[in-house]
Amino acid sequence: MEEQLKALQEQMEQDAAAVGSTEELSAFWQKYLSKNGSVSGLMKGLRDVPPESRPVVGKAINQFKVQAEEVYQNLRARIEQAELENANRSEQIDITMPAVRRSTGALHPITITKNQMIDVFAGMGFEIFEGPEIEDDDHNFTRLNVAKNHPARDMQDTFYVAEDIVLRTHTSPGQIRVMDREKPPIKVLVPGRVFRSDSDATHSPMFHQMEGLVVDKGITLCDLQGMLDKFVQTIFSGDVKTRLRPSYFPFTEPSVEVDVSCFECGGKGCPLCKHTGWIEVLGGGVVHHKVLENCGIDPQVYSGIAFGIGVERIAMLKYGINNMGLLFENDLRFLKQFKD
């Protein structure tokens, strides 16, 4: 018995040395300490030991049991500790590690400019109206006082979709659509894409305009200048002013070309303003009485002002862009400069 115990003890020490995981630990427990384990086996075998030797052998078995339990507890503590350390290591976070940067999109400079323009006029009480990009000749020309064969049709190189159907050459047909629907007082802004067969550094076959229309009793050119002053001051700089120059549009009379005093040189003269101190920014005028009549509005009672602003032109001036193509090529190196 004594020898058996000794062999078992040696075996146990060997087994203990090989335990490295929870599974092995549990196998160790099964082998030595479970109901069917070696210790139980020894206890059962005590029956066969002569009664006089039983106290001694029983004591030895007991000692072995205590020893096996102690070995087991030590192993368990070691393995738990090792597993905890493992878990800690695998869950470790290096808070000094730079975060993965996710690049976000940004608004296109045309959208930024358009939004700013809408903001200025919305602040003055303008509502927004959007008309169709494909227009009939009637809205795009005739009812704007541009009759068939009118030489002014040549001013705008029109894309025809079908006979009498065009890609709108300006946002002015929005005036007609609004006045057909609403009666004065009217104060609307018509932003949108327009199309002309024209392409160079300052022209693109598709570009954006923003039409303004105000119709009420007693509206004059002064109202136009007052609103546009506020507009250019917000968009460019607080101390710029506007200048109206006589011009011609079939749908306004009088018609004006609106210049802004050069925000780059303050009016002294520089390359941006071509040494004139002024930069042309938009066209406008007093709504022609025929246009009001064409929409059933009595020009004896009401008057109106209208203006058309090129969004690309404003963006190019604002950001110092010298080629309109840049606004449509969508080169990321260009676009990323507008990310705020």
Q: What phi-psi label fits residue 255: left (phi over 0), alpha (psi between -120 and 50 degrees) or beta? A: beta
Q: 311 burial class (0-12, 13-18, 19+ CB within 10 angstroms)?
A: buried
Which CB sits closer to ligand PHE, 25 or 194? 194
CA distance 90 to 80: 15
Number of H helices, E strands in the chain: 12, 10
CB of 265 to ligand PHE, least distance (A): 27
CB of 172 to ligand PHE, least distance (A): 4
For the bound state, the minimum distance from the C-beta of residue 105 to ligand PHE, rounded and expressed in Å, comes to 31
Closer to ligand PHE by CB, 137 or 211: give it.
211
The verdict on whether omega for the bond into residue 246 sits within 30 degrees of 0, i.e. cis, is: no
CA angle 248/271/279 to nearest 5° reads 25
Min dist. Cβ of residue 125 to ligand PHE (A)? 19
- Which residue(s) pair with 42 in the sheet? none
Of 38 and 169, CB closest to ligand PHE: 169
Task: Determine the Cα–Cα distance for residues 239 and 242; give it in Å rounded to an integer.
Answer: 10
Element (H, E) at 163: none
Residue 109 or residue 192: which is nearer to ligand PHE going by CB? 192
Nearer to ligand PHE, 31 or 289 (CB): 289
Nearer to ligand PHE, 144 or 327 (CB): 144
Q: Which residues bind ligand PHE (CB under 6 A)?
A: 170, 172, 211, 249, 252, 283-285, 306-308
Q: Where are the alpha helices (DSSP H) in 192-269?
A: 221-235
Q: Least distance in Å: CB of 307 to ligand PHE?
A: 5
Residue number, nearest CB to ligand PHE: 308
Residue among 227, 256, 260 nearest 120 (CA): 227
Least distance between ligand PHE and beta carbon 284 (Å): 5
